[in-house]
Amino acid sequence: MDEEPISIQEAKDPGYQGAEVRLRGWIYRTRGSNKMLFMVIRDSTGIIQCVASRSDLGDDLFTVAKDLPVESSVIVIGNVNKDDRAPGGYEVHMNDVRTISKADRFPITKDQSEEFLRENRHLWIRSRKMNAILKVRSTVTGAIHEFFRKKGYHEFTPPIFTPNQAEGGSTLFEVKYYDRSIYLTQTWQLYAEAAIFSLEKIYDVSPTFRAERSKTSRHLSEFWMAEMEAAWIGYREAVQIAMDEIRFIIKKVLENNIGDLEILEVDPDGLVHILEKEWPVITYTEALGILNDKAGMDVQWGKDLRTVEEEELMKLFDTPVGVVEYPKEAMAFYKPVLEGADAPGPVAKCFDILAPEGYGEIVGGSERDTDIESLSMALEKEGESVESYDWYLDLRRYGSVQHSGYGLGVERLIAWICKLENIKDAIPFPRTMTRAYP
Ligand code: ATP
Ligand code: MG
């Protein structure tokens, strides 16, 4: 009877050295002469070099195997041995190669443009780079669930079709909904605020849609947000929870993905160093002072920080930084004013967390206004019909309490951890203004 296939990673265990193994996967690279065949195969766990001479396989099989194109699926059988000269440090001496499916000529060859790779994302997803990123991604989302569940939070799933905006009308995706129109969710927030009166502490990791009209390396039209909302807490506590969450995620990546970071050429010591340090929390007003003193940038008080300002600010830090208390004026309607703040104008009980190395905002959060009057006024100011938010205002009518929450951009965090040049590589099939294929 045939032995069970094992993974390439398992074949590298000391227990298998010298033993015959059966591996299945895809041809990653192949080269050969008339006498020798070198075939690197890959599976989800890694790559391994497989070799055979003409006499090992016999003339017929040797010829078939030598002509198999890259990405053909195969089963190979042979003896595995540690071999420092082989790529990956191990080698399988093959005595059999079975073709499962012979591939056509693979369109992805060396030195293709980013655009070509995105056009062929369905195939590029097999690359070692995408494989490594997707494994980190899986760790990140798993860690988010683990972090919140350990703290007694409940997973809460929001609707994706929503009748209201929460983050400004300009980025809403309007879709046909039977004989009327509706929007795709920009955030779970309004629904999360309803749910905390039942569950108190909730979180989610779910898809989010924003029609971002500017082309940047950090905006997607469809992205995943990990949000939390909790009753009885203020925005300053939420900042600490967000920082603890990010630390927890980084720890999990260091535990599970060292090999993937290596493939991505990310130095894990950089992440270890970040975990060892304190992460500062400064106010928006202090941030403007720092930008002025240390970067010679004169930003008018009252404006939201733009990408350039965030980048300049974060050149001065080597850990994530919490920036709190942005001007109320620039903020969404639900963020309450902080009374008695030491600032030139009204500021909101809100915060962002910015990542270093030019990655900018990864978390945005706030306390939520509990005052019906000021909420209604802020909605009117944004040109919204207050009646259509009546259900939301009900939450202030029946036992309202202080509560806060935030959203962490899953792809922004992955892009920073993996040092990706573009957020598009942090998600398997990116959707942007210019791309919705494949
Ligand atoms: P930005 O100013 O960068 O557009 P934002 O202030 O609109 O961000 P929030 O509404 O606070 O973002 O959303 C919470 C988090 O979701 C952000 O901190 C970010 O990590 C992520 N995020 C927001 N918009 C996008 C997007 N278009 N693509 C990917 N992630 C996003
Ligand atoms: Mg935005």
Nearest to 414 by CA among 214, 198, 191, 257: 257
Task: Give residue-wise pLDDT tens across range 94-119.
Answer: 999 999 999 999 999 999 999 999 99
Question: What spacing in Å lies between the alpha carbon of 262 and ligand 1's midpoint?
Answer: 28
169 to 165, 194, 256: CA distances (angstroms): 6, 21, 40
Q: How far apart are CA 60 and CA 99, in angstroms?
A: 13
Please report, as a single letter, which amino acid is at residue 64.
V
Res 1: pLDDT: 52
Please report, as a single letter, which amino acid is at residue 72.
S
Which ligand has the shortest distance to the CA of 226?
A: 1
Instruction: Strands of 65-153 (E only): list them.
Output: 73-82, 90-101
Q: How far apart are CA 66 and CA 225, in angstroms?
A: 47
Question: What spacing in Å lies between the alpha carbon of 136 and ligand 2's midpoint?
Answer: 24
Question: What spacing in Å lies between the alpha carbon of 173 and ligand 2's midpoint?
Answer: 14
- Among protein residues, the one with the nearest Cα to ligand 1's atom 23 is 409
Report yes or no: 71 and 26 within 8 Å, Cβ to Cβ.
yes
Question: What spacing in Å lies between the alpha carbon of 285 and ligand 1's midpoint?
Answer: 21
Beta-sheet pairing, 73-82 with 90-101: antiparallel
Task: Give residue-wise pLDDT tens across range 184-221.
Answer: 999 999 999 999 999 999 999 999 999 999 888 999 99
> Which ligand 1 atom sits nearest the alpha carbon of residue 423?
29
Res 87: pLDDT: 85
- Among protein residues, the one with the nearest Cα to ligand 1's atom 3 is 361
Q: Percent of the chain at pLDDT above 70? A: 100
- Among protein residues, the one with the nearest Cα to ligand 1's atom 27 is 219
Q: How far apart are CA 437 and CA 116, in angstroms?
A: 12
- Among protein residues, the one with the nearest Cα to ligand 1's atom 12 is 364
Q: What count of Cα atoms within 13 Å lies in the side-chain half-sphere of residue 22?
A: 7
Task: Give residue-wise pLDDT tens across range 282-333.
Answer: 999 999 999 999 999 999 999 999 989 999 999 999 999 999 999 999 888 9
365 C-beta neighbours (distance < 10 Å), count? 27
Q: How far apart are CA 267 and CA 270, in angstroms?
A: 6
Report yes or no: 68 and 74 within 8 Å, Cβ to Cβ.
yes
Res 330: pLDDT: 87
> Which ligand 1 atom sits nearest the alpha carbon of residue 409?
20
Q: How far apart are CA 321 and CA 312, in angstroms?
A: 13
Task: Give residue-wise pLDDT tens across range 107-150.
Answer: 999 999 999 999 999 999 999 999 999 999 999 999 999 999 99
Question: What spacing in Å lies between the alpha carbon of 413 and ligand 2's midpoint?
Answer: 15
- Among protein residues, the one with the nearest Cα to ligand 1's atom 22 is 409
Q: How far apart are CA 246 and CA 270, in angstroms?
A: 15
DSSP code string of 375-409? HHHHHHHTT--GGGGHHHHHHHHSS---EEEEEEE
> Which ligand 1 atom sits nearest the alpha carbon of residue 167?
10
421 C-beta neighbours (distance < 10 Å), count? 10
Give residue 2's pLDDT band: very low, low, confident or very high (50, 70, 90).
low
pLDDT, the chain, mean: 96
Q: Which residues line ligand 1 (CB under 6 A)?
A: 167, 210, 212, 219-220, 223, 225, 361-364, 407, 409, 411-412, 423
E strand or H helix at 276: helix 268-276
Res 139: pLDDT: 99
- Among protein residues, the one with the nearest Cα to ligand 1's atom 26 is 219
Helix, strand, coil percentages (3-state) for the chain, rounded to 5, are 35, 25, 35
Question: What spacing in Å lies between the alpha carbon of 437 and ligand 2's midpoint?
Answer: 23
335 to 366, 374, 377, 413: CA distances (angstroms): 6, 10, 12, 24
Domains of the chain (ranges, CATH numbers)? 8-101 (2.40.50.140), 118-426 (3.30.930.10)
- Taking residues 331-355, what's their average pLDDT? 96
Nearest to 351 by CA among 379, 323, 314, 378: 323
Q: Ligand 1 pocket test: which of 144, 165, 225 has the largest number of ligand atoms within 8 Å of its C-beta?
A: 225
Q: What is the DSSP letter of 86?
A: S
Question: What spacing in Å lies between the alpha carbon of 247 and ligand 1's midpoint?
Answer: 20
Report yes or no: 286 and 317 within 8 Å, Cβ to Cβ.
no
Question: What spacing in Å lies between the alpha carbon of 225 and ligand 1's midpoint?
Answer: 9
